[in-house]
Structure 1
């Protein structure tokens, strides 16, 4: 392991983190956002956080002085994994230094329940991993969460969606090292179309990503949001994150135009950015031939239609005979069901209503949807559509091989044979590893999380199993909201510090697709030879 180059690059990531915090500083002043006076508490917290980034970056750069520029796969994986650990810690500083609060402990006496270290790390990692889960119960009260810190919270979505390392390569270059960093950072099976020069590729993806954020922010402003809300919700949409500036999420606006606009951009955010790039250069026909994109759209259309057909059973105020009580409910179902379906599929997690009130079939369908995700090369989390496509094809070949053992068939994707046996092994290994992590974390959470998490918050204790399972699935797959105690109108504040730190690890594992994080715990990974 080339430790000096790793430390040198981590130093540059620390400085980059400090630079991105500068964008939240203007929102501490009255002429930005909705603050009535200068938010000194948030402003001082941001200043202290930026100073911490600068000092830590200087220490890392000093320790990595004299490092050569050669970086190989192992160093690249170390930089990517440690960068996300570093980003989580540095991103938590604004919450910690501003004394942000989860809720009022006693409003009359002014006592607040301050965020502890586990809460701050959870909120930070949830932002960077574009999960969108939160421990905050009231984000609208500037006394609990300063407006400038709220903007930083949404900014972590923007940075996480783009990928800190992708941004790092785009802004700072690194020459031949950029290729290794990009390969370690961009999740999902690789697809054709990326350009030879990694820095140029990073700049291209960054430009498309920023342009889509800008277009969406302008549209949301036209549709009635102020600039603060429009920018924050654009960050949450294109990053498939889901952080909002209101407790009711997008449901606060109660606007069909906003819902449908965000729906379209969530679909775009869940697409492979290579395909989006090809569309912008006039090669959109390639997208229509792409197996993953066709499967992605088929899931959206077929799944939304299925839920739409049975939507008469999803809400408690629908007739038991399955007949809609009035036309307005039919219109609401047509609006809310596709939005919720796409929000969960793309791992965005925005809410327009309480989908936890759906019947058991609808809730079960959403739970299974958490394990699908967006396309490879998108900002979405989850297991990725392409892996599911390949997994089904591999299963079909293996079943055929059981009764035709002498027949040799290549795995095909879009009619093109894929002779590489390593891909089969990698797909099966990934499915097995995700299943193991889910089951192990679920049992661990059920066994160690106290029953008081439910009983003291007026939640049925018998829901502990399903609530724990949905919390693990929602964090591992970077969804955000789950079912029950972590449902659409709930949050993760009731969980113990141990559970929150477990969720931090799961969110990081899901965002980096397991291996860049898992290797950090292997002693052989850190040996010099």
Structure 2
């Protein structure tokens, strides 16, 4: 039932400085209120069912089921406003329910990928729906379940749900009461959203744009109210403000809490945060050097190069996905390094997606130990990080398994997309039938087909990486100036599943498809 309440706030939102058909805005508000009524009804039904089972203990298995099914239900219910409001992905193309689910999951998972091709033309997307899609970022920032635990409080049940929901390996600084932890995280998160909104307004944004972009920044989501994303504002001040807050959003919220108590020195005593900042510095330097040498767009002067390079590096690393420049037109080093950053992500316990910096640190240490064991088998070294010894014997195994799972999901999803997605997605319908092109003997058609197949391999890989790691924009047909509207309905369902897997760290969603998970033991 609590999930129905957030539908009411966007129903009041309107970007009044743009022309809009009042009837269309009313239809948008009506879609939100109708969605709210449906959610309330479903909530009443579930509450009645839940009363029959009150008093039972919520163990890890049940917590995983609650988290996984909550995200599935949130995806479906969050799609209702898009579908019921008359939203169109382009002129004369009403949004389908699968596309509405894509937009919903993209919002809640803070991915920021979209199927909407025009956000600014009147009569396509109601302003209240624009606010709703950014509002889903706010709700998904720390996880729907985490925020609800903070608000409702569920005792030991809340503790189990928090463990199932919070991303990344457990680190130092955890507080004894999970409800207090959730409240502290929520307070920091809401406070940073308020500060950033006020800052944006002072820097020239309207209140509507300030709220929407603050939600997208602090949730590391990336939904914008403009087709040009953050490039719409052409302001160095706004860009650097966004960079700073994206770094905060990509940092461990436990660490931010402890920094408030102990001072800023606490930040740089943390090995994950130091590595996080080091990646930003080193990769930005490489992007700037190669960008200026190649004469890429946005790299005309050093100041422009630094701003655009750092913005895109931080945006991709933190999985925010905002853009100030079309990085798909950069040199191969720039495009390649951003593709690799998609598999890094923010810090554990942040609002960012991806595999998390701490996992990469641990994975490197595990590999180094294994290499040493190959030529010094009698040496026994304990895994250490930040001067602390890790006593959990299963952690190394869990890290390696997680990397293997992500690789397997990426490869299988990429192969499915390459195999079954029609080449018409890339705008070359005749390339779908290889035999007819090859037999025609026309070298131009054969070259078009070859280029299409080459683009399909890379674009499909970047689309899978961008959705699995909750980035949003990728390369080629899903580049920063494009979207996911051209993909088939089946591919969009695949992306919905990948975004959900990436957001809840694989296990809570993946276990739902295994029959053994549902058996009583």
TM-score range, shorter chain: over 0.9
Instruction: Tell me, yes or no, if structure 1 residue 337 matches structure 2 residue 337.
Output: no
Match of 2:442 in 1: none
**Range 86-95 or range 52-61, more displaced:** 52-61
Question: Closer, same or farther in 2 for the Cα pair 1:309/1:29, shift >3 Å?
Answer: closer
Q: Superposed, which structure 2 residues align to 1:467-478 within 5 Å?
A: 467-478=459-470
Instruction: Tell me, yes or no, if structure 1 residue 515 matches structure 2 residue 507.
Output: yes
- Give the one of 146, 149, 152 matched to 1:166: 146
Deviations 1:225-256 (A, max 9, x none): 00000000000000000000000001011111
Contact kept in structure 1, 2:287 and 2:333, CA below 8 Å: no
Give the 4+ runs in structure 1 shifted more than 4 A: 32-36, 456-460
Match of 1:203 in 2: 183
Question: What is the CA distance between 1:121 and its match in structure 2?
Answer: 0.6
- Cα RMSD of the aligned pairs, angstroms, is 1.7
Instruction: Tell me, yes or no, if structure 1 residue 371 matches structure 2 residue 343.
Output: yes
Contact kept in structure 1, 2:21 and 2:122, CA below 8 Å: no
Deviations 1:324-365 (A, max 9, x none): 8xxx53321111000000000000000001011101111111
- Give the one of 144, 147, 155 matched to 2:135: 155
**Range 304-313 or range 95-104, more displaced:** 304-313
Query: How far, CA to CA, are the matches of 1:276 and 1:188 in structure 2?
Result: 16
Q: Superposed, which structure 2 residues align to 1:344-423 within 5 Å?
A: 344-423=316-395
Question: What is the CA distance between 1:35 and its match in structure 2?
Answer: 5.2
Match of 2:26 in 1: 40
Contact kept in structure 2, 1:134 and 1:491, CA below 8 Å: yes
- Give the one of 244, 269, 277 matched to 1:297: 277
Match of 1:450 in 2: 422
Question: What is the CA distance between 1:470 and its match in structure 2?
Answer: 0.2
User: How many residues of Structure 1 are paired with residues of Structure 2 in the alignment?
Assistant: 499
- Give the one of 74, 87, 100 matched to 1:100: 87
Contact kept in structure 2, 1:80 and 1:185, CA below 8 Å: yes
Query: How far, CA to CA, are the matches of 1:450 and 1:356 in structure 2?
Result: 22
Question: Closer, same or farther in 2 for the Cα pair 1:283/1:317, shift >3 Å?
Answer: closer
What TM-score do you get using the length of structure 2 for normalisation? 0.93
Question: Closer, same or farther in 2 for the Cα pair 1:516/1:314, shift >3 Å?
Answer: farther
Question: What is the CA distance between 1:288 and its match in structure 2?
Answer: 1.8
Contact kept in structure 1, 2:294 and 2:331, CA below 8 Å: yes
Give SS of 1:176's match.
helix
Contact kept in structure 2, 1:95 and 1:149, CA below 8 Å: yes
Question: What is the CA distance between 1:143 and its match in structure 2?
Answer: 0.7
What TM-score do you get using the length of structure 1 for normalisation? 0.92
- Give the one of 488, 493, 496 matched to 2:485: 493
- Give the one of 210, 213, 218 matched to 1:238: 218
Deviations 1:134-187 (A, max 9, x none): 000001124111000110000000011121001110111112211001110001
Match of 1:180 in 2: 160
- Give the one of 5, 8, 21 matched to 2:7: 21
Give SS of 1:421's match.
coil
Contact kept in structure 2, 1:28 and 1:40, CA below 8 Å: no
Q: Which runs of 5+ in 1 are unaligned?
A: 1-14, 105-111, 319-323
